[in-house]
Amino acid sequence: MELEEPAVALYDYLYKDSARISSYYAQLFSGRLSSLEETDTDSSGVDRGAKLDAHLVGGDIKHTSSRQKTSKRIVDPHDLITTEVLSYFTENDVIAESILEGTHGQLVITKGTLGFVDKSMIEIGTITFKMSAETLMSKVNKTAADRAELEQMKVLIALLEKVQIPSAFQLNINGNFIVVGTIKDDGMQEPISSYYYKYGTSGLSDVYLIGIKEIPTPSLAMPSTPLLVASQGAAEALSTLLFHEDAIRVTPIAMFRRLF
């Protein structure tokens, strides 16, 4: 699906990874832009003349005074850095034309209906997961499959209590496929909870996403020690606990709407 990139206009940034964008700007433009300086100079001059008439000398006396006014304004570049980096991406054809055809590690752009998932909501979801484990534990006649599932759930619950749970996003592309990924909370323009208050579980339509496509690569064979087997099983369970296994993974750089 070929997507027409938005032209230069006014954008409303919902999310941006400022650390990555600053790094990209420094690499592309040989330095990090911290401020912009604008200097205005205004010059003016006044001529004053008088006639001199004497017996020996005659002529004009002329006096010129000048004044120069200089003003300097230092401007915070703010979103200019983001706009220049994203414009460079689109103008230099480094973004994949189709997110479906994009390769691992390639920049992609797509547009769809966006929904955010706050990490606190995910933490609440883990409570339901624990309740399911308790229900399975109280089951009288457990099968071998039940016991295996219960052991995996115990490991996963212990892991969820230790690891940092990230916030996430989900972008629905015309109902055909879903793009997902984790986000940094400090990259949000406003708290994710504000979207719940305004829209509930509904998403925002016509949102652009520029990011890095990620395609998981099967890990190399590792020694089958008890600790590694348990940790690998838990990590595998985490990968599908939040996102559907068929969803396209993307590390987001910026998510925005075009206002005009």
What are the DSSP E strand ranges found in the chain? 11-16, 36-53, 58-75, 95-96, 107-117, 167-173, 177-183, 204-214, 248-258
In a domain, 61, yes or no: no
pLDDT digits (tens, 9 = 90+) for 11-39: 899 999 999 998 998 898 876 655 545 55
Cα separation, 159 vs 219, in Å, equals 20
Rounded to an integer, the average pLDDT of 222-244 is: 73
Residue 111 lies in a domain: yes
Range of the domain at 251: 11-31+77-118+165-258
Is there a domain that residue 188 lies in?
yes
Does the residue 24 lie in any domain? yes
247 falls within a domain = yes
Q: How far apart are CA 243 and CA 205, in angstroms?
A: 20
Amino acid at site 37: E
Q: How confident is the model at residue 9 (pLDDT cuts 50, 70, 90)?
A: confident
**58-75 vs 36-53, strand pairing mode:** antiparallel
What number of CA atoms fall less than 13 Å from residue 1's CA on the CB side? 13
Whether 202 is covered by a domain: the verdict is yes
- Per-residue pLDDT tens digits for 39-93: 555 555 555 544 444 443 444 545 555 565 555 544 445 678 888 888 889 889 8
Residue 227 lies in a domain: yes
The total number of structural domains that make up the chain: 1
Residue 66 belongs to some domain of the structure = no
